[in-house]
Amino acid sequence: MSAPRISFVRDLQFRIEYGLLRAIAGLVRLLPLETATALSARAWRRLAPKLNPKRHARALANLAIAFPEKSEAERLEICMAHWENLGRVMAETMQIDRLIQDPSRIRIVSDRLFGRYKNKLGPAIGVSLHLGNWELAIWPFIEAQANPAAVYRSVNNPYIDRYLRWQRRDLYPGGLFGRGRVEGEHGDDQKTARILTDFVRRGGRLGLVCDLYDRTGLPVPFFGQDAKTQAIGAMIARRVGSRIWMSCCKRVGTSSRFEIEIKELRVPRTRNVGEDVRWIMAEMQKQFEEWVREAPEQWMWSNRRWS
């Protein structure tokens, strides 16, 4: 079934938004990477709380849930630093091709695990969280020449959506599978759970970001409170017997240099499938919480996590 056509006025709006994005990207690409990220971080710290007060308030509310023992001033400073990190990510996204062409900028610190399994991965699912520059959390699969694909949240503007997917083509050579309702024809692969399962079963390597609130997800503990979390990664791994690698891409200081840590999550296969899936998700979120505690200023607090 083809997507419904959008009106001329709506299409014109999308084209204007796309043109503005390309103009900003062009300016960012004129600058050296570290200069662009520093300027973007400064701009986001100053402007984001004013331009998006709702998300700023959400970030502070989430920080209060996670760190009730910290003072309001401490939580505010983490919040402002998180806006800086998002500014750096935005600039890095617009120069992602240049960033990944410099191998000195990305280091996999889990040498033992990576060295042992990189040449015998088999079907695999990589799960990560919005920390550091999360786009690069897929890097271990790239280094292993595993031809990874990923599930991502589609951008409603089809022109911007296609541009962002094109920018990420070297990170996800296996393709990007869109999720979420969008207007118009995006030309991407809107995949169902069954098709994603078949992809992994046939030996595919799939990347997922699993730290967002999901209305239809399963509640699992995160910083002491249940958070509804999408279960698709755990369900696929349990069903087809694939490996799960949890991946965290942590920024080194304020630079565009990163250390990637990976940990394997053993997939239980008892007679109780539901309990197996819930255990996988709980262990995953427990590890995510540990990583967030190590670098709270690098996690995206402004995302919705709790209901």
The string over 265-279, giving b where at least 16 C-beta atoms fall within 10 Å of a residue's C-beta and e elsewhere, is bebeeeeeeeebbbb
The whole-number pLDDT of residue 184 equals 60
The whole-number pLDDT of residue 275 equals 97
Longest dimension (CA), the chain: 57
* Whole-structure pTM value: 0.93
Token reading at 290:
């540990």
The whole-number pLDDT of residue 190 equals 44
- Say if residues 232 and 239 touch (Cβ distance below 8 Å): no
- The span from the CA of 106 to the CA of 101, in Å, is 10
Q: What is the 3-state secondary structure (H, E, C) of the chain?
A: CCCCCCCHHHHHHHHHHHHHHHHHHHHHHHCCHHHHHHHHHHHHHHHHHHHCHHHHHHHHHHHHHHCCCCCHHHHHHHHHHHHHHHHHHHHHHCCHHHHHCCHHHEEECCHHHHHHHCCCCCCEEEEECCECCHHHHHHHHHHCCCCCEEEEECCCCHHHHHHHHHHCCCCCCCEEEEECCCCCCCCCEECCHHHHHHHHHCCCEEEEECCCEEEEEEEEEECCEEEEECCHHHHHHHHHCCEEEEEEEEECCCCCCEEEEEEECCCCCCCCHHHHHHHHHHHHHHHHHHHHHHCHHHECCCCCCCC
- Say if residues 280 and 268 touch (Cβ distance below 8 Å): yes
Low-confidence ranges of the chain (pLDDT < 50): 1, 188-190
Burial class (CB in 10 A: 0-12, 13-18, 19+), 67: middle
The whole-number pLDDT of residue 189 equals 45
Distances (CA, A) of 181 to 4, 10, 93, 165, 244: 12, 16, 23, 17, 28
The whole-number pLDDT of residue 103 equals 86
pLDDT digit string, tens, across residues 103-149: 899 999 999 999 999 999 999 999 999 999 999 999 999 999 999 99
The whole-number pLDDT of residue 181 equals 65
